[in-house]
Amino acid sequence: MTAGRLAPSPTGAQHLGNARTYLIAYWSARSLGKRLVLRIEDIDSPRVKPWAVQQAIDDLRWLGISWDEGPDIGGPHEPYIQTLRRSRYEEALEHLISINRVYPCTCSRRDIAEAGSAPHFEHEGHVYPGTCATWSKGDPLPESGSYCWRFRITENLVHFDDLVGGSQSCSPARHLGDFPVTQKSGNISYHLAVVCDDHSMGITEVVRGDDLLPSTFRHLDLATVIGMTPPQYAHVPLVLGPDGRRLAKRHGDTRLATLRQRGITPEQIVGWAAHSAGFIDDLQRCQADDVIESFSWDKLHRQPVIADDTFGLS
């Protein structure tokens, strides 16, 4: 059976931009009768805030989003919390080591600091120069704690068809470079965890912000090497502030928990999201389930959404 997923990272509160992406993922899954999985992506220690897990669940429910499997309701692919799934990621890492597709890398912390989190656009760094890539399986390992495992990315062109952006191709070796699949602490990186989970949870459609599009080339390469069938991807244009930059704190407080306290209703947010995405003609209040019928990828506006400072919520 086909399945979509919601994958919040509890590194802070969920905000309006996240809400819009989750709603689109929800509408897509529900309009086609897909199973929907909620997975908590909490491996980005120490940035994870324990309170943010329950708050993300509360925010989603408040928006009127429901799911068929998740940490709060269980399901056949338990556990739904990444920190409890470590053995699965380690198995995949062992496989990558056994086929010499990763190498221990002792390069500076700065190079690998972002390994635990999804690299949203502004964090895409320089291409790793391959300093440690001469290691091969069987060579001695550096001192424990002094290295991360780095994945040897393919030299080939990688191509996929995005449900939103259409045909996408990239030469990952040239543009992205070898990337860490663990941190020096041994923690598994976002990239390896997400690929393993999407596969083992039977996810067939990934809806996420288009700032993660470069990562998809990494994920496709990893999936191929590990022998996993990749899902279809839909990279949704981001919500930008009035200055054209990605929605952030400088644009005001758009945390859903704050909006809720201010008396904003979920119907206002859902109406704004549905209208800005192109699924309803007029900016009006509505419930998440009312939009399912009008959803189609063809209708989705392809350009980023510029939010004014009221988001149509005043």
Question: By the criterion CB under 6 A, which residues form the site for ligand GLU?
Answer: 7-9, 41, 118, 194, 208, 212
Residue 42 or 178 having the CB closest to ligand GLU: 42
CA distance 10 to 31: 27
Minimal distance in Å, beta carbon 14 to ligand GLU?
9
Residue with tokens 């470069």: 214
68: tokens are 């068929």
Across 126-231, the runs of DSSP E, i.e. the strands, are 148-151, 158-162, 166-170, 179-180, 205-209
CA distance 276 to 295: 13
Minimal distance in Å, beta carbon 195 to ligand GLU?
9
22: tokens are 């989750």
Q: Which of 160, 151, 152 is nearest to 220 (CA)?
A: 160
CA distance 187 to 89: 10
Residue 37 or 96 having the CB closest to ligand GLU: 37
CA distance 99 to 227: 12
Residue 8 or 64 having the CB closest to ligand GLU: 8
- In Å, the largest CA–CA distance within the chain is 64
Residue 62 or 121 having the CB closest to ligand GLU: 121
CA–CA distances in Å: residue 159 to residues 151, 155, 169, 282: 19, 13, 4, 37
Minimal distance in Å, beta carbon 282 to ligand GLU?
30
Minimal distance in Å, beta carbon 146 to ligand GLU?
28
How many residues would you count in the chain?
Answer: 314
Residue 96 or 203 having the CB closest to ligand GLU: 203
Minimal distance in Å, beta carbon 7 to ligand GLU?
4
Minimal distance in Å, beta carbon 9 to ligand GLU?
4
Q: Which of 223, 195, 167 is nearest to 39 (CA)?
A: 195
Residue 11 or 294 having the CB closest to ligand GLU: 11
